[in-house]
Amino acid sequence: MSHLELWWIKSTCSIFLLLSIPGVIGWGKEGHYATCKIAQSFLSEEALNAVKELLPETAEGDLASVCSWPDEIKWMHKWHWTSELHYVDTPDFRCNYDYCRDCHDSSGVKDRCVTGAIYNYTEQLITGYNASNSVVKYNLTEALMFLSHYIGDVHQPLHVSFTSDEGGNTIIVRWYKRKTNLHHIWDTDMIESAMKTFYDKDIDIMISAIEKNITDRWSNDISSWVNCTSGEEVCPDPWASESIKYSCNYAYRNATPGSTLGDEYFYSRLPIVEMRLAQGGVRLAATLNRIFDPYPSVSQKVAYFGKYPTCATHYLKLDVSQQTSFVN
């Protein structure tokens, strides 16, 4: 077995069993659903065909239906190794992100964080899907679902936030009258409150409103949202830098332990939530369009991946002896 296969390759049959199992959700089930629903509407014909080919049959061609799968499995013993790939912790109060400093797991293993995972699964899809007769055989269905989910995660501001409070999870506050934590407010509560207040409790109505803003209010920003410099297929580092700034300027601000967050917090932060859902969706679509574009050669695509942060040992560059700690 190639050393590239030793890490992050699971059996396809487990997907079909686990897709229907409920669990703790990331952005919130609605948030990931929205991100992937938006993305699918912006896919090229080639990318849409590839996505539908890779999706499990139970998805019936709908990427959004499986976008929460990585959250649903991460608490299970077999998949617990994925739990630290949903976020990246940064030094408290620095309000900046640096891949070389921040992308590691709790044991200090480099490249194991949400941005590292995005790089990894993008490369798996490029080398596994586009390369004919590739010697490396990835589980591309899982790679697609992980990538789609983690691009959503990196756009949730508190998935790139302070180490000591675990992304706001230990900051206990009240959301109106209900006791919760700050992370849950950004994952779930604000989206649910927006659905109740503005969208007739219907996530599809909320998605339609966001899509209208993409083609109207944010139309002049789209090119800057989707472009990666120097021809990279994916560029999660600037997305993470955006998130930590939104964490500092919006999520953490006025959200001290024991405080009650209500209308003032909700109405001033909801535009950020909706914009991040929009950005996650269009960037996921742009990434998949670049991955599944049939015109650039595979060698050109793989060459772009020399543009990792210079510090990155990156899992796909580790030799077999280094790879053993990643076997799951």
Q: Is 7 exposed, middle or buried (0-12, 13-18, 19+ CB in 10 A)?
A: middle
> Whole-structure pTM over 0.75, yes or no?
yes
The pLDDT score that the predictor gives to residue 316 is 44
- According to the model, what pLDDT value does residue 229 have? 82
Rg (CA), the chain: 19
Digit-coded pLDDT (tens) for 195-225 = 999 999 999 999 999 999 999 999 999 999 9
Going from N- to C-terminal start, the domains of the chain cover 3-326
Handedness of CA 44, 47, 49, 52 (dihedral sign): negative
pLDDT level of residue 325 (50, 70, 90 thresholds): very low
Please give the single-letter amino acid code of residue 29.
K
Q: Copy the structure tokens of residue 197.
A: 């207040």
Is a pLDDT exceeding 90 seen at residue 304?
no
pLDDT at residue 301 tops 70: no
Task: Report pLDDT digits (tens) over 153-184.
Answer: 999 999 999 999 999 999 999 999 999 999 99
pLDDT of residue 131: 66
pLDDT tens profile 32-84? 999 999 999 999 999 999 999 999 999 999 999 999 999 999 999 999 999 99
3-class DSSP state of 248? helix
What's residue 132's pLDDT?
Answer: 61
Cα atoms in the 13 Å half-sphere on the side-chain side of 127: 19
Over residues 226-260, the pLDDT tens digits come to 999 877 899 999 999 999 999 999 999 999 999 99
Instruction: Please provide the CATH number assigned to the domain covering 3-326.
Output: 1.10.575.10
Starting at the edge strand found earlier in the chain, the sheet holding 260-261 runs: 178-181, 172-175, 260-261
How much is the average pLDDT of 275-290? 97
